[in-house]
Amino acid sequence: MLRNFNYCFISVISLVNNLKQKKLIFLIVIGLLFFCPCSNAVPQTSNIESLKSFATAASSDSIKSRLYLSVAKEFRFSSLDSVVHYGNIAIDYAMDADNTNMIIESLLELAYINISIGNREKSMQLYTKAKQLCIDNDNQYLLAKIHLDLERYYSTISDYASSINSLDTALDIINSNNYSYLKPMVYNSYCNLYLLIQDFTIAKYYANMAISYSKQDTNQTNYIGNILLIGKVFFRNNEIDSSLYYYNRALTLAKNINSKTLKQKAYRKISDYYIEKAEYELSNLYIDSSIIYCNELALTNELASLITFKAHIFSLKGDYRKTLKHNLQALDLRENIGHKTQFALHC
């Protein structure tokens, strides 16, 4: 359930009117583009099968390990059981090749996923093993990434002091080794952490730091993601008209680089804005745009979340038949994933 915010309305009448004039056209476009949920596995399956074929034909165990780890990561948003399966295969090949870096990277992926399925004790065991390998082999880069991941681990158990300590340690390693390209990741994590504890002033500071360090990256993905992040900070702080500015800016930039992933996220965030404005039809349209890209990208978990969100919108409109229909559709998707997921809405 979305939070009910108390805020002062800033006039957006001209913007809303303009959108309403285009609503009919938008509905037609959505109708033409919308894919049924069962189509979402096609592009992902093709990519996975290609990776597995390359892995089978690979000439060395190290290459096989790298490719099977890529297969594992492809399953992150559709089947966590498959992530574990192929992550273990990646470790086996890395051990056969005596490739310590690949062993560490595979351990990190398995630790990350075990957090998602609630196996926190197993996750910490894997992180501890990976950390020791980094120390034994003086791999400062992967050690920094472990501490970045540990922030997520501690956040899931609301141990925010340990989360901050993990990020501080990661930043010390990054500064000592001049891994400046990792700084946006650290500042992004700081921002999300302070959002959790609702210190919006510090969250804004770190969001701006993340934007500043990622702005010059050749790959604009992190920069656009950080634009969305600062929009999220404004939204959580009840400054929702400011959030729309950043969400629209991120959407424009995402279109410029034709990033389906970022367009999906931007449409999702803009939908949040319109539901807070009680513009339920517009919110629904943006959710549908986000769903299109979820289907194309095979983001099954996110797709289930978006369909649940549509159910929430229909409940606000008093259409309980469609509310039930969409909730059942989301439930079916989650059952097909084959692992437990949270039914909470993404915020």
- Is 109 buried (19+), middle (13-18) or exposed (0-12) by CB count in 10 A? buried
Q: How far apart are CA 45 and CA 73, in angstroms?
A: 13
Of 275, 286, 274, the closest CA to residue 15 belongs to 274
Model confidence at 331, pLDDT cuts 50, 70, 90, reads: confident
Q: Over the stretch 2-11, which tens digit does the pLDDT of each residue have? A: 333 333 322 3
How far is residue 261's CA from residue 256's CA, in Å, rounded to a whole number?
Answer: 13
State pLDDT tens for residues 49-101: 888 888 888 889 999 999 999 998 888 877 778 888 999 999 999 999 999 99
What is the C-alpha separation between 298 and 92, in angstroms, rounded?
28
Q: How confident is the model at residue 337 (pLDDT cuts 50, 70, 90)?
A: low
Task: Tell me if residue 49 falls in helix, strand or coil.
Answer: helix
pTM of the model: 0.77
- 8 A C-beta contact, residue 171 and residue 189: no
Tokens of 146: 């472990």
Category of 273 on φ-ψ map: left (φ > 0), alpha (ψ -120 to 50) or beta: alpha
**pLDDT of 341 over the 50 cut:** no
Q: Which amino acid is at 79?
A: S
What are the angstrom distances between the C-alpha of 202 and each of 71, 91, 206, 225?
37, 39, 6, 18
